[in-house]
Amino acid sequence: MSPWTEALQQLGQPLLDELAAIYTDLHRHPELSMQEVRTAQIVADHVQDLGYEVTRGVGVTGVVAVLRNGAGPTVMLRADMDALPMQEKTGLPYASTETAKDEDGATVGVAHSCGHDMHVTWLLGTARVLAQHREAWSGTAMLVFQPGEETAQGAASMVADWGEGRFPRPDIILGQHVMVGATGTVTFRPGVTLSAGDSLKIRLFGRGAHGSQPQTSVDPVVMAAATTLRLQTIVSREIAPSEPAVLTIGSLQAGTKENIIPDDATIKLNMRTFSDDTRESMLKAIHRICCAESEASGAERPPEFTPLNRYPLTVNDAEATRKLADAFHAEFGGAASLAPNPASASEDFSLFGRAWGVPYVFWFVGGTDPDVYARAVQEKAINRIPSNHSPMFAPVIHPTLATGLRAMLAAASAWLGPDRGARAS
């Protein structure tokens, strides 16, 4: 039995009940990216009461908590705090009914449909176990509660606000994410783990007219429709079948009335790539196609391209991943496994390690009821399980809470264990 399993058994059901209450509260009260004021106050107050050195407002709403416990490495543990601008449809008794103003001033629903409330709860539980069982580890634990992951603003904002010497320099950076998968399981992989992500807004310019006189217009609706169809050929006809890539147009907006041909149309797209070469090739193709369709339509003005966000590749350090794998196999046995392929999701987690030249590892914790997942596997219907960013996404609380807590503690112990602290690096 690991010291962390023993510690969790000592704390027992009261700890899990406390964490479940925190989780359902956070789930019920989500906050948009870079607006996580309530969440940040909850986590800062909680870890401060546990004896951590707490710094608030790092990178707008970020929180950094440091606990020094003798000689040894500094391990940074990260959780993201923000929710999504969407309406929850789970029907859960603790479902969100919150609304907020988005960056454009529109009123939107707000929901923790990506599981960041679970991530925060895991890290709060980790904070408590580390604080109350200092005999089990040696070194410095640095807990980072990050804003704005969904908009790719948060990690960059915290790094920019970090300051020289303000916090200890980490020796390793660790993070985890709840995903579709049988609860009780964890998966990991060395090397490329998550895709790079780019989002663009493309404004196409036409010439407006009355709907009864289309000959006097340059119709941006037709231009946008043709552009949308042609953009779909980038992956199918310009990227090798052996190279994974995704291009999704999630928004196409034009006009206000059925008998008015508008002046312009706006496309918002997202792409995911697994190599820098493919990324550059796709960005050039997007620009080429949009400009060509605009010219073919007789537009008097070229398209306007506005980057919305960018996520770098998440590339786990190979040596650190081997150390993590050993810890996970000791903790979970066969419930810990190697992920066969990178995931097409993207994260800004790696920005911390990239900015400081520090190795990092990111892994996944299953949050799906095991019976539901097993049945979906048998029926070859895993894609029908509501996934992250679905309005129906809802991890089961137990044992997902305990699994993520054990995973974070086991990972940290690979560097903070009392017999490793003096020589780990």
Per-residue pLDDT of 395-409, as tens digits, reads 999 999 999 999 999
> Could you tell me the two tokens for 42?
């909850």
Sign of CA dihedral 230, 234, 236, 238: positive
pLDDT of residue 313: 96
- Annotated binding-site residue? 290: no
Contact 211, 261 (CB under 8 A): yes
> Could you tell me the two tokens for 55?
């710094």
Instruction: Report how far Cα 311 is from the mean position of its chain's Cα atoms.
Output: 10
Q: Which DSSP symbol is given to 297? A: T
Sign of CA dihedral 315, 356, 321, 4: negative
> Could you tell me the two tokens for 256?
């206000």
> Could you tell me the two tokens for 80?
């993201």
How far is residue 280 from each of residues 169, 228, 271, 372, measured CA to CA in Å? 33, 19, 11, 40
DSSP string, 230-288: HHTHIIIIIS-TTS-EEEEEEEEEE-SSTTEE-SEEEEEEEEEESSHHHHHHHHHHHHH
Bridge partners of 260? 210
pLDDT of residue 421: 39
Q: Is residue 88 classed as helix, strand or coil in its secondary structure? A: coil
Going by C-alpha positions, the residue among 383, 89, 105 that lies closest to residue 97 is 89
pLDDT of residue 423: 39
**Which residues of the chain fall below pLDDT 50?**
420-425
pLDDT of residue 2: 67
Q: Is residue 364 classed as helix, strand or coil in its secondary structure? A: strand
> Could you tell me the two tokens for 369?
């009821």
pLDDT of residue 167: 97
- Annotated binding-site residue? 114: yes
d(CA 327, CA 5): 12
3-state helix, strand, coil in the chain (%, to 5): 40, 25, 35
What are the chain's domains? 3-195+313-416 (3.40.630.10), 199-311 (3.30.70.360)
The predicted-structure confidence for 178-208, as pLDDT tens digits, reads as follows 999 999 999 999 999 999 999 999 999 999 9
pLDDT of residue 48: 98
pLDDT of residue 9: 73
Q: What's the whole-model pTM score?
A: 0.92
Contact 48, 138 (CB under 8 A): no
Q: Which DSSP symbol is given to 236? A: I
